[in-house]
């Protein structure tokens, strides 16, 4: 998606100017509601409930968080539709606010492509259970029942790791065109009602492992592979091996016409459950003393495997976006973010709604993170 940096910077500076002139708490979204007031009582696991504490008790500057809340109010006036923000530091919620009448803390929110990171996590769990033998296994070997079109040596060479890192080399134009454009391959795929085979049949346009190309269909193939190696659908595997141990008991996960749970988009979670998933990665795959995801998989997930096309200084791991400032994130359409900040022991959750034609929407979570949330720790 093409950005206009001059327009973006102008509007941002304008918003900061207005913020300085209107620093009092907004009556609808007061900072007193955003910033937690509990007491830090030591380490625990948020399986049953999250604890809250004042940010100062864990080394965060509440003034920075108040400034964050103030700018969000201004962004809402600019029609940047932020639904909620949740910040975890040292295992405690230090700030949380819900800005939309449509979504509250108990509502399932669409997380769109954050689904990809869930799929990656489950493949990691399957590898720890020796159900998945390795990321070098070849994609086509899992689907002998299909007469796969456009076969070639390159297609036979596509591995699980190529799918994980968006470098399979399949013809797929998803970020090149708006999702409503008929040239967008994701739209063609979803409109067709096809599942895994549509993706398997795509022609090759690059040698696997050489070029990054964002491909939601590749993530869906990963879900199909997970179903093959575990013998159960991905959503069922997630419930038993991922959600239940973390205390996540509500979710929505759609399934395609062939009975494969969508691996690239479609899941809905509550924001606090999104934070549980992020906290699992922050704790290197451990939850309450149990290694849920192998630590080696967590480490591999946050490596800069591929440079992301069109976006400078941004990289792709195992279905996670990796930044140039030591954070990595599950990212979904319209601004759904689960960001892990290992240096400051933080997990940050954003839920947004896309407003057509507002280009500021896409970069808002990352900018708020780097302008307010991370500096609040420094």
pLDDT beyond 60 at 12? no
CA dist 80 to 19, 77, 349, Å?
16, 7, 16
Interval 306-333 mean pLDDT? 92
Question: pLDDT above 70 covers what percent of the chain?
Answer: 89
What is the distance between the terminal CA atoms of the chain, rounded to a whole angstrom? 32
pLDDT at 118: 98
CA gyration radius for the chain? 21
pLDDT beyond 50 at 184? yes
pLDDT beyond 90 at 70? yes
Contact 319, 225 (CB under 8 A): no
Contact 184, 178 (CB under 8 A): yes
Interval 288-316 mean pLDDT? 94
pLDDT at 78: 84
Interval 120-133 mean pLDDT? 98
Closest CA to 289 of 101, 7, 2, 43: 43
pLDDT at 25: 43
Out of 14-28, 96-110, 240-254, 262-276, pick the least confident: 14-28
pLDDT at 378: 85
pTM above 0.75, yes or no: yes
What pairs with residue 90 in β-bridges? none
Gap between the Cα atoms of 57 and 87, Å rounded: 14
Gap between the Cα atoms of 59 and 354, Å rounded: 33
pLDDT beyond 80 at 357? no
What pairs with residue 338 in β-bridges? 330, 349
Average pLDDT of every residue of the chain: 91
Structure tokens at 208: 């696997």
Question: Percent helix, strand, coil in the chain (nearest 5)?
Answer: 40, 15, 45
């Amino acid at each position: 998606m093409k950005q206009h940096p001059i327009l973006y910077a102008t509007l941002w500076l304008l918003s900061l100017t207005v913020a300085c002139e209107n620093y009092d708490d907004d009556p609808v979204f007061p900072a007193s509601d955003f910033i937690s007031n509990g007491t830090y009582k030591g380490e625990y696991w948020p399986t049953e409930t999250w604890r809250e504490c004042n940010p100062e008790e864990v080394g965060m500057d509440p003034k920075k968080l108040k400034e964050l809340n103030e700018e969000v109010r201004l962004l809402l006036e600019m029609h940047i539709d932020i639904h909620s923000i949740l910040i975890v530091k040292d295992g405690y919620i230090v700030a949380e606010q819900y800005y939309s009448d449509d979504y509250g803390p108990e509502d399932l929110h669409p997380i769109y492509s954050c689904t990809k990171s869930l799929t990656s996590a489950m493949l990691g769990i399957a590898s720890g259970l020796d159900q998945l033998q390795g990321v070098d296994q070849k994609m086509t070997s899992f689907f002998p029942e299909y007469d796969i079109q456009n076969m070639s040596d390159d297609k036979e060479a596509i591995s699980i790791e190529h799918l994980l890192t968006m470098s399979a080399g399949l013809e797929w134009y998803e970020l090149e065109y708006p999702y409503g454009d008929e040239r967008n391959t994701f739209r063609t795929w979803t409109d067709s009602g096809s599942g895994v085979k549509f993706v398997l049949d795509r022609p090759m346009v690059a040698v696997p492992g050489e070029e990054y190309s964002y491909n939601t269909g590749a993530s869906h193939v990963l879900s199909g592979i997970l179903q093959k190696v575990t013998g159960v659908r991905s959503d069922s595997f997630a419930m038993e091996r991922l959600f239940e141990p973390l205390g996540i008991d509500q979710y929505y996960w759609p399934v395609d016409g062939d009975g494969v749970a969508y691996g690239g988009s479609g899941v809905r979670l509550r924001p606090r459950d999104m934070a549980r998933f992020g906290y699992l990665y922050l704790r290197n795959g451990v939850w309450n003393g149990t290694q849920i995801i192998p630590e080696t998989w967590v480490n591999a997930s946050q490596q800069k495997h591929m440079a992301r096309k069109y976006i400078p200084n941004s990289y792709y791991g195992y279905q996670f976006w990796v930044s140039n400032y030591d954070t990595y994130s599950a990212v979904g359409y319209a601004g759904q973010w689960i960001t892990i900040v290992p240096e400051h022991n933080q997990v940050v959750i954003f839920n947004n709604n896309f407003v057509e034609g507002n280009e500021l929407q896409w970069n808002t979570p990352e900018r708020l993170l780097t302008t307010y949330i991370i500096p609040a720790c420094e």
